Amino acid sequence: MFSIWLLRGLLLGAIPVRSVWGGGSQLSPESSLIWGPGLRADVVLPARYFYIQAVDTAGRRFTSSPGENAFQVKITAPDEQFTRVGVQVLDRKDGSFVVRYRMYASYKNIRIEVKTKDNHVAKSPYILKGPVYHENCDCPQEDSKVWVEEMSCSHTIPQIQKDLANFPTVDPDKIAKEIPERFGQRQSLCHYTIKDNKVYIKTYGEHVGFRIFMDAILLSLTRKVTMPDVEFFVNLGDWPLEKKKTTQNLHPIFSWCGSTESKDIVMPTYDLTDSVLETMGRVSLDMMSVQANTGPPWEEKNSTAFWRGRDSRKERLELVKLSRRYPDIIDAALTNFFFFKHDESLYGPIVKHISFFDFFKVRHQLLFILF
């Protein structure tokens, strides 16, 4: 039996032996597990998601992939002729999968079917009793406490709590005057006001293009939940602003960056929030697709230290020189020259960019953390 499967695997080529057998075990539709927020109508996300864990007939969890196409997922709105929804099944190669779907319309109900071959998996089909809203629906939950519960948000987030502890009270009128006076000339800042669940903004500084990322997350939030009236400042720059040594008269500023020497309140950076909002849309690099593109197993990853980038610092040029001297240890090359003169005899030719996922083919990446 085994040899027949082996032969078939080899003949078909595309099916590796391990995929068919999952290390010698048989996939069980009933014992496999399905869970996650994407099975609940009230969890409104840009892309909804849930997990599948493959379990074998002996009740053991798979720890390697049972095959990329082991599970088939179908999502439909039973009351409609067409369902505008995109579905992706991401193989995490550890026996589990992430299924995500992006809805392009709201529906009364949604039916999620997960099958392996022709058998329903776990408690499939799952019926989400709606309304099931899509990301762009302006359909806020009026009670923000209910929303926090529905979304299973953590009750505390230690880092935010710690950053906020510097500001036991805030006088909005005072900071509305003082923060622009202190930083408004030379930095890029936004003063946001949320009132009656509408977002208002006043910008300071010349380069405020990055406000679009903050606007986007606030607008997404106000579509999901009626936000309390609130005012705050956001720093759009690449470095923290509040660097006073004392704790006297600190100014509360939300930033995408921080340090142990600064008092900015750090929030998730714009490319993270953007990739979440645009999941399965404009963006292909998000925290979930990374889970399905981790490259070869560790033993098979290339152990030459790896770096790609542009010439934005002298140290980078030095690294490229080192790489040319010790190519067996370091593979470092420049993808662009902008700041320095390109001397090909010193730094070699400019190389093409590589795919983000190709970085997972190597064991060691060299990073520059310099200011």
Ligand X SMILES: *[C@@H]1O[C@H](CO)[C@@H](O)[C@H](O)[C@H]1NC(C)=O
User: How many residues contact ligand X, by CB under 6 A?
Assistant: 3
Does residue 365 belong to the site contacting ligand X (CB under 6 A)?
no
Residue placing its CB nearer to ligand X in the complex, 311 or 331 = 331
Determine which residue in the list 163, 331, 333, 347 makes contact with ligand X, applying CB under 6 A. Answer: 331
Does residue 304 belong to the site contacting ligand X (CB under 6 A)?
yes
Cβ density class 26-38: b for 16+ within 10 Å, e for less: ebbbebbebeebb
Does residue 72 belong to the site contacting ligand X (CB under 6 A)?
no
Provide the CB-side half-sphere exposure for 302 (13 A, CA). Answer: 14
Query: Least distance in Å: CB of 325 to ligand X?
Result: 14
Residue placing its CB nearer to ligand X in the complex, 171 or 299 = 299
The SS3 of residue 274 is: helix
DSSP per-residue codes, 225-272:
B-PPPEEEEEE-SSS-----SSSTT----EES---TT---EE---HHH
Determine which residue in the list 26, 302, 355, 365 makes contact with ligand X, applying CB under 6 A. Answer: 302
Residue placing its CB nearer to ligand X in the complex, 26 or 302 = 302
The answer to whether residues 139 and 133 touch, using CB atoms and an 8 Å cutoff, is: yes
Query: Least distance in Å: CB of 327 to ligand X?
Result: 7
| Nearest residue to 218 (alpha-carbon basis) of 274, 180, 171 | 274
| Nearest residue to 367 (alpha-carbon basis) of 322, 305, 311 | 305
Residue placing its CB nearer to ligand X in the complex, 12 or 329 = 329
Query: Least distance in Å: CB of 335 to ligand X?
Result: 14
Residue placing its CB nearer to ligand X in the complex, 182 or 363 = 363
Considering only residues 34-63, where is the footprint of ligand X by CB under 6 A?
Answer: none
Inter-residue long-range contacts of 312-315, CB under 8 Å, 24+ positions, other chains counted? 312/338, 312/339, 313/339, 313/368, 313/370, 314/340, 315/368, 315/370
Query: Least distance in Å: CB of 316 to ligand X?
Result: 17
Query: Least distance in Å: CB of 302 to ligand X?
Result: 4
Residue placing its CB nearer to ligand X in the complex, 264 or 331 = 331
Q: Which residues bind ligand X (CB under 6 A)?
A: 302, 304, 331
